[in-house]
Amino acid sequence: MTLRSAILGAPGAGKGTQAQRVCERLHLAHLSTGDLLRSAVAAGTAAGKQAKSHMDAGRLVPDDVVFRVLFERLDRSTGGFLLDGFPRNRAQAEELDRRLASQRVALDVVVDIEVPDSRLAARLTGRRSCGSCGRSFHLEFFPPAVADVCDDCGGALKHRADDTLAVVGQRLAVYHEQTAPLVDYYERAGILVRVDGDQDVERVTAEVLDALQNDVPERA
């Protein structure tokens, strides 16, 4: 079966880490709009130039820019995929539904990684990722063996500009206002599975894998 899936959760809930882990295991394309936008910014493309100021301020990038970078990739993912960081608002969810319906397919399952708000700021500010291979680490919860060096490829670890305390508050506010209502949207569609994200990384991965492989709920 070709699995079409998405992972939801607040910034810092562990979406990216979990998505990397389960995509390797299940051979799914990992489609992270945050990563695609950061690459566009780094490459200086037109989309990147439009996205940068919004990202730096912790605001959502305009939908049309996100659609441009994502749908070009999505159309090339003929196998299964896991969307990470998309959709972020109702308009994006509806556009995704329309886009998939035009290809006579639909999302199979959406996993919501749930972490209490009080834990999110510490999780975000301690986050680091490899500048070469993109692997995620955390200074407190998932530290590299050698400080500032990637365990996998030896690349230098980086601190994202929008993971500072100043921007984190804004990102959490945007999440609650625009993205959290999507949990209800997918629950109504009958395809939502909730996972407790405030557990050991391995345990969360096991539950996400379980949700993706076994627990595809009946469509409403």
Catalytic residues: 15, 88, 127, 160, 171
Residues 29-48 that bind ligand AMP (CB under 6 A): 33-34, 37
Kindly state whether residue 197 participates in binding ligand AMP, applying the rule CB under 6 A.
Answer: no
Show the tokens assigned to 139: 């200074």
Return the sign of the alpha-carbon dihedral for residues 207, 209, 212, 216: negative
CB of 59 to ligand AMP, least distance (A): 6
CA distances from 75 to 80, 99, 102, 117 (A): 11, 10, 12, 35
CA distance 6 to 108: 9
Q: Which stretch binds ligand AMP (CB under 6 A): 52-60, 95-103, 130-138, 189-197?
A: 52-60
Q: Which residues, including other chains, have CB under 8 Å from residue 205's CB and lie 6 or more apart?
A: 18, 21, 22
Q: Which stretch binds ligand AMP (CB under 6 A): 21-29, 72-80, 84-92, 181-189?
A: 84-92
Kindly state whether residue 85 participates in binding ligand AMP, applying the rule CB under 6 A.
Answer: yes
Kindly state whether residue 88 participates in binding ligand AMP, applying the rule CB under 6 A.
Answer: yes
Helices and strands, counts by H and E, the chain: 9, 8
* Near ligand AMP by CB under 6 A: residue from 28, 40, 66, 150: 66
Kindly state whether residue 130 participates in binding ligand AMP, applying the rule CB under 6 A.
Answer: no
CA distance 148 to 71: 34
Kindly state whether residue 134 participates in binding ligand AMP, applying the rule CB under 6 A.
Answer: no
Contact positions toward ligand AMP, by CB under 6 A? 11, 33-34, 37, 54-55, 58-61, 66, 85-86, 88, 92, 162, 171
